[in-house]
Structure 1
Amino acid sequence: MERRKFLQQGTLAGLSTLAVGGAAAAINHSPTEKDQAGKTFNLNYAPHDGMFKNSAGANFLDQIQFMYDQGFRSIEDNGLMKRDTAEQEKVGKLLSKLGMQMGVFVIDAGDNWKVSLTSGKQEFKDTFVKECKKALETAKRVNAKWATVVPGYFERNLPIGVQTAHVIEAFRMGADVLEKEGLIMVMEPLSDNPDLFLRTAEQSYSICKAVNSPSCKILYDIYHMQRNTGNLIPIMDMCWDEIAYIQIGDNPGRKEPTSGEINYKNIFKHLHKKGFKGILGMEHGNAFPGKEGEQALIKAYRESDNFL
């Protein structure tokens, strides 16, 4: 063999060995799914009922235990107020035993998805206050700190400023009730349909300032804000002092992070840098069915949470 060819082949072989060795070292030093299983996350993500039903079964308590075993330390339950008292108490006891935290549940007496608080009608204000009082009792059973509120649809026969004043008045009444026990209502701007009155974080921010209560804050749902306004991080920062709770969902599809267009790893890194210690509710569906889909969801959160 010619000396030149021998040297070339020897060099290529050496580079190949270095490449393989480097890749092996990277694999050996990278956290595997087995290594990560059960470890807590850098941020406090909260799954919900049904998200892991294929892995844990239909019983909500069994699902909570499964969530804990996967490293989650909070849950949220929109329909908590519809559960009977005994079940609420069982959920609360299990969360306390596991050292887990309850995220949001929804305050809704049936008026969230129609014209209600924007109208200024006394009947809707009375119902809202009554439901806030009921929410206090629910919150005590599970040690909840936040509850979602929605002011309903536009009243298109009234000017927008008058509707806003009506919502502020109703939320002040609700906050007066909730402040006594330290429960925080978090108003959620939504994108589900064009009839919904509350649509942006900026709009919610102005209402919070007008209500002027520690029990009236913003729920910043990243999925809805991407659909309605985009510009996610700058708007979040502008409204930061009134944001008490955050929810997650990728777009399009409203599934777990990595399933759509939102750079959740970057958003999570930003929240971590800001020192956010609150809950991030996983208010979305699963991108894939069955147990495999549930494992894929956990993997997606591990990937997006790996920002340090």
Structure 2
Amino acid sequence: MFVLKLPSWLMAASLVTAGCLPPAVADQPVPEPENPKPGAETSAQSVGFRMRSNVLPSHPIDPALEIAQKSLAHVKNNIDDYTALFAKRCRVGGELPPLQFAHLKMRNRKLENGSIVAPMSVYLDYLKPSSLKGREVIWVENAYDGKLVVHQGGLAGLITLHLDPEGSLAMRGQRYSIQSIGIEKLLEQVIEVASHDRNYGECLVEIDDDARLGQHRCTRVTITHPEKRDHFRFHRAVVLFDNDLQLPIRYCAWTWPTSPGGKPVLDEEYNYLKMQVNTGLSQSDFDPANPDYRYVD
């Protein structure tokens, strides 16, 4: 029987979200997901029974959806900014590129009375692969005429480019634009997809609050759709939540095997490693004129 002990930050509000697996180290491959445990769907319901005073969830995905909602509320209410080692890859045109690593600075959008008082702001400094090393990218909501401010590495770094974030140059080799980056956007996407999946059956959910990422205790949520259906986005998705930060630090998704008995196919993964929250980032952290950056006038 699958057993779940929820960490205190989840028990307090009886909320659950989609989590992540321990992140890949450097270019090590992502571990193949295991087959879902027998009775996982029933187990998810029994978890809901314990969490909700003997009231079963309407759908097996509800506990996972609640975790994501809890985490998103925490981000909106308590997280102004963060830094992280960002590692990601996603399949584009059928090809899965190597992991891309970058130092990330992120400031969340904040509203007061419906007005933006702190715009969403992003700074990326790419570390690898070698084709991207040295690239710096800045994007600030409603600033720089809506453009990405890009400094390339190597000899190409002698100029600064201003690119449409949705244009062909900025989107080359990318599935999503920079406007979709960040923990808040990840959680919103997880909630949207989970809410959509509530309309259908064939959903197995497993939650483990004792997953490990280095020395960090995490809650791992695994959602599996055994059968390929047009209305499902993935075969299996895994999200790892850091129990102390109350934030997702890794998301991975696989599509269905391409042959009977084959392995699931890794489709995308996003990692937020070495995360530090509420570091006091300012406007200068998202300004090409910052003397610590390598932009050229």
Place the TM-score, normalised by the shorter chain, in its bin. under 0.3
Larger radius of gyration: 1
Give TM-score, length-normalised by structure 1.
0.26
Give TM-score, length-normalised by structure 2.
0.26
**Greater relative contact order (Cα 8 A, min sep 6): structure 1 or 2?**
2
Which structure's residues are more often helix, by fraction?
A: 1
